[in-house]
């Protein structure tokens, strides 16, 4: 095995192009692994569209849509409660009523939802998850939107 690595590094050092290609291979491999690594480091749990449907049907989960008014009006998950991300803190009393229920937080792509999940967990919400991929993933899965 040592001989393999010695031969490999000798080959790579012979030409600058070989070094560039090795660097590109390492960089592209890192870019492919980055989402997998960071998914495990996110503070809140995530569920996909099919898992969200199961939570809604089996656990009576409530969907909390944190998109802006215009985005919400363009189409939202049926029976979703609309609380824009910027209003979460000021409408916390309204959300306190939902503490006992599972919550699924949705946004356009899933980024805002994970931040809101973290905020809600700090406020004592135990069963709260983000919709992975947001409304975009919901639509790609062929799930209906209500207007």
Residues with active-site annotation? 107
Q: Quickly count: other Cβ atoms within 10 Å of residue 44's Cβ.
A: 17
What letter would DSSP give residue 82?
E
Cβ pair 137, 49 in contact under 8 A = yes
Residues with Cβ within 8 Å of 78's Cβ and at least 6 positions away in sequence, in order, are 144, 145, 146
Assigned token pair, 143: 């799930």
Contact 101, 60 (CB under 8 A): yes
Closest CA to 95 of 106, 107, 82, 109: 82
């Amino acid at each position: 095995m040592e001989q393999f690595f010695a031969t490999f590094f000798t080959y790579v050092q012979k030409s600058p192009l070989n070094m560039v290609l090795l660097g590109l291979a390492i960089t592209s491999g890192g870019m492919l692994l980055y989402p997998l690594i960071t998914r495990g480091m996110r503070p809140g749990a995530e569920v996909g569209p099919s898992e969200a449907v199961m939570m809604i049907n089996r656990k009576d989960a409530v969907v909390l849509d944190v998109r802006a008014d215009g985005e919400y009006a363009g189409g939202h998950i049926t029976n979703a409660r609309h609380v824009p991300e910027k209003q979460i803190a000021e409408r916390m009393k309204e959300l306190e009523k939902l503490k006992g229920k599972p919550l699924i937080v949705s946004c356009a792509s899933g980024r805002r939802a994970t931040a809101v999940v973290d905020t809600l967990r700090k406020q004592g919400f135990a069963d709260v998850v983000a919709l992975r991929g947001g409304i975009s993933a919901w639509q790609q899965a062929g799930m209906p939107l209500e207007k």
